[in-house]
Structure 1
């Protein structure tokens, strides 16, 4: 079982009858995010492998496997901005050891995302997950 914000999102998706409603919910999640500062949208925070522009700004509090990962992000595409918000629900606030242990594909599958994203969006989502896992792995070292 994922952390509470993601479980709440799963419950919300269970009440939505069609993918269009779910799609709008993802977009709305992205609209609620605070934009990054201009200086945070730089090459070091940019996620490669996404068709859209994506930046993830991590913050790790503590040291070792119990350090807590939080992050903020932004994209120039509305659906991708929403996917960043979904990943925040899944990962933000977890100890870094749990980030690697979380099966993102299975968890996101509970939302039905993997069935309705284009190949490019799926690749971008996978790239964002890999970046977060890399950040978590480096924080554990």
Structure 2
């Protein structure tokens, strides 16, 4: 499944949720499904700057694809990180670099978040792109 197809699937799932309370619960449930990062991966270099909570995003590169892992000490940021990991993990650096984050506005996530959480979300998306650029340069 392409990144765009995954994004479209998320947009469709959010369309079925009637209000923000349901959307909030859905995001929290996604976070509960996220496997925790190991203690050694919860380090300063994987810590996302600009998040209200502590959020770590880590990436491994194998078979020309990036595999993301994430964790957070906050339940909502963990759900958001899980959402991003589910979309971007398992794709090539080119796919990630050439993708957009329009689905975030399509599901209205930024409007739902406080300004500091919205800044954290943007920091997470930037980190995902950063990993893609960094690993592409290593090739």
| TM-score (ref. length: structure 1) | 0.89
- Which structure 2 segments of 5+ residues have no match? none
1:22-101 equivalent positions in 2, closer than 5 A: 22-62=23-63, 67-101=64-98
The match for 2:104 among 95, 108, 118 is 108
Q: SS of 2:60's equivalent?
A: strand
Measure the CA separation in 1 of the matches of 2:54 and 2:106: 26
Measure the CA separation in 2 of the matches of 1:108 and 1:89: 14
Match of 1:12 in 2: 13
| TM-score (ref. length: structure 2) | 0.90
- Which structure 1 segments of 5+ residues have no match? none
Which digits, 9 at most, give the CA deviation of each residue in 1:84-129, with x for residues without a partner?
011012211121112121111x121122102111110110011111
Measure the CA separation in 2 of the matches of 1:125 and 1:48: 10
Match of 1:140 in 2: 136
Q: What is the CA distance between 1:4 and its match in structure 2?
A: 4.2
The match for 1:130 among 110, 118, 126 is 126
Question: 8 Å contact 1:51–1:120 — kept in the other structure?
Answer: yes
Question: 8 Å contact 2:71–2:78 — kept in the other structure?
Answer: yes
Q: What is the CA distance between 1:36 and its match in structure 2?
A: 1.1
Question: 8 Å contact 2:11–2:103 — kept in the other structure?
Answer: no
Count of residue pairs the alignment pairs up: 136
Q: Which runs of 4+ in 1 moved over 6 A?
A: none
Question: 8 Å contact 2:28–2:76 — kept in the other structure?
Answer: yes
Worse-matched range after superposition: 92-101 or 72-81:
92-101
